[in-house]
Amino acid sequence: MSVELSRIVEQRIQESILVKSQFIANAGVISDIATQLIKTIRNDGCIFTCGNGGSSCDAMHFVEELVARYKRERPGIKAQHLCDVSTITCWANDYDYQSIFERQVTTFIKSCDALVAFSTSGNSENVNRALAAAKQKGAFTILFSGKDGGKGKSIADCSVIVPSQETARIQEAHIMVVHILCELIENAIYPI
């Protein structure tokens, strides 16, 4: 049994390494996104995030790294996730789940802001509606996705599409990119 478990562990690690090594081709896209987010922050904008399930956790993770800290002590960076349980359940109960993020986007986001939306398939209706609403308000929109990017890639201004069909591998790559963005943003906004 232990040999079988070890084989599975090794296989999953190798899969993750392979996906991330193929993702090196996205370095230019990631640096372009960092540049846009730095511009957003310097223009007194806010970085908003959203997603469902594990992608919701990734959205919240990005925000906490910006608001609290990433690698060093510094003032907070303006960021907010749209994953508040009370707001989501109130709206979904009274209206529908498809517009839970769209409603918040139309309420909070301004043209100087950015929306970073996470959807491993790129086909989450509520995420795509949020991207469309943010774009309509003039905000910069970014999609973190996988597979072929789904419908969301044609809505977002810029997309990070992980070359994998496996949700776990996609989310692992998303967190890697989140950490890279946090480092680039932190270094640009608060240079040592």
Q: What angle do CA 9, 11, 17 make, to 5 degrees?
A: 105
Tell me what the pLDDT averaged over the chain comes to: 96
Q: 1 falls in which pLDDT band (50, 70, 90)?
A: low
Any idea which residue has 């969301």 for tokens? 152
pLDDT, tens digit, for every residue of 66-118? Answer: 999 999 999 999 999 999 999 999 999 999 999 999 999 999 999 999 999 99
Per the structure, the count of domains in the chain is 1
Q: What is the spatial distance between Cα 18 and Cα 16, in angstroms, rounded to a whole number?
A: 5
Q: What is the pTM of this model?
A: 0.95
Domain of 107 in residue numbering reads as: 2-189
CATH of the domain at 161: 3.40.50.10490
Instruction: Count Cα atoms within 13 angstroms, Cβ side, for 141.
Output: 26
Radius of gyration of the chain (CA): 17
Instruction: Count Cα atoms within 13 angstroms, Cβ side, for 106.
Output: 7
